[in-house]
Amino acid sequence: MELKFATSNPHKVSEANQVGRKYGIEFVQLEQDYPEIRDEDVRMVARAGAAYVFNIIREPVIVEDTGLFIEGLGGFPGSYSAFVFNKIENQGILRLMQGAGDRKAEFISAIGYCDIDGVQIFDGAVRGSIGTEITGTAGFGYDSIFIPDGHEKTFGENPKLKAEVSHRMKAFDKFCKFIAECWD
Ligand code: IMP
């Protein structure tokens, strides 16, 4: 079964399909823009995005919003992670972290699924820390500075680990279980 995934990021679709495959679900990228509302909760951003896209295409659809919440920076960049990455990238985050004692961080992913019955949210999180340098070239975004707890390498160095423990993998696992039951 196929389901549209509204995103401009093909990496997200490929990661979603690593999970979807196990459930017989194929996520198909839909290049449909939607406004990202200002809210500190990625779940609210995903909720608004999914409803917006559904109102245009009138077919079941998902969007997914991710935030990187860094404790030593008071949760920054959080739900503003895309804006911040576009402005200062990973080098900028490492500069901001100079002198910040607490390097603990969490990625949170929220999937918004919208169909005729409205929006439902499925989330996933992974805890870790921000490295002291940019390492690894796999993945995208903040992958090369994020080290998941219990490991020494960044997601950028270890994409196989990302596929096993990431925020997105957990959120898609919840979502795929739900949708596979609906389609049963
Ligand atoms: P969004 O979910 O597309 O709004 O992404 C927010 C920001 O976080 C963007 O700059 C992405 O590149 C980055 N990002 C999203 N997901 C991940 C991930 O799995 N790893 C690293 N960075 C990510």
Report the topology of domain 2-182.
Maf protein (3.90.950)
The preferred substitution site among 64, 89, 121, 142 for testing ligand 1, maximizing ligand atoms within 8 Å of CB, is: 142
Which residues of the chain have a pLDDT value below 70?
A: none
Q: In sequence order, which residues have a C-beta less than 8 Å from that of residue 82 and are 6 or more positions away? A: 36
Please tell me the distance between residue 143's alpha carbon and the centre of ligand 1 in angstroms.
Answer: 8
| Å from CA of 184 to ligand 1 middle | 32
CB 107 within 8 A of CB 145: no
Task: Quote the pLDDT of residue 100.
Answer: 86
| Residue-wise pLDDT tens digits, 89-133 | 999 999 999 988 899 999 999 999 999 999 999 999 999 999 999
pLDDT confidence of residue 101 = 86
Closest atom of ligand 1 to 86 CA is 10
For residue 168, the CA-to-ligand 1 centroid distance in Å is: 10
